[in-house]
Amino acid sequence: MATNLPNLLTYFRIALVPAIVLCFYIPGYTSHWVALGLFIVAAITDFFDGYLARAWEQQSNLGRMLDPIADKLLVAVVLIALTWQDVIAGFSLWAAIIILCREILVSGLREFLAELRVSVPVTQLAKWKTAIQMIALGFLLAGPAADRIVPGTTEAGITLLWAAAILTLYTGIDYFRAGVQHLGDGTPEPHTPAAKQERQT
């Protein structure tokens, strides 16, 4: 169902993305705390929409499609906004580029593998990557404001971002290995239903 609670949480997370961006147009340090608060709410909905969908057996094709889209929108927009604000700058831009490129490439590869009815299990390391990435973005959103209270917050966020980028490269290898193995499997028949995919990558 399009209006079950897990899907509503996903819609809400997508709606929070432009709200977070709007915070960067508010002058002063308050905007950083508001953006952080909205980001935390979005991260919480990311956990509960998948958990509730499985617990209540309300998984749907719409939810499987929108959930990874919402996740990638949130991460990509926050990274771009942070670079725009020069919170992520200089050599650290490469960490953001690595994460963004991996998300785009893996999304395309997942779609290809789904057409072949191939599912790549989510590893524990991939879950750690996601957790570190979200914590890094949280630190960086608070960044300039939090540095006034706890010096080094932004630096800690940059360090965690690089850790996430390294794990991003490593975990992405599993997807590309699976893709290479199936490149010669031929073209799937038209309208082949997509394979059931994990809600988190």
Domains assigned to the chain: 5-181 (1.20.120.1760)
Distance CA 91, CA 141 (A): 18
- pLDDT value of residue 188: 46
- pLDDT value of residue 118: 65
- pLDDT value of residue 198: 44
Distance CA 182, CA 46 (A): 30
With left for phi above 0 and alpha for psi between -120 and 50, is residue 152 left, alpha or beta? left
Tens-binned pLDDT, residue by residue, of the chain (201 aa): 567 777 788 888 899 999 999 998 888 888 899 999 999 999 888 877 766 767 776 666 666 777 778 888 999 999 999 999 889 999 999 999 999 988 888 777 777 766 767 666 667 888 888 899 999 999 999 988 999 999 999 999 999 999 999 999 888 777 777 667 766 655 444 444 444 444 444
- pLDDT value of residue 11: 87
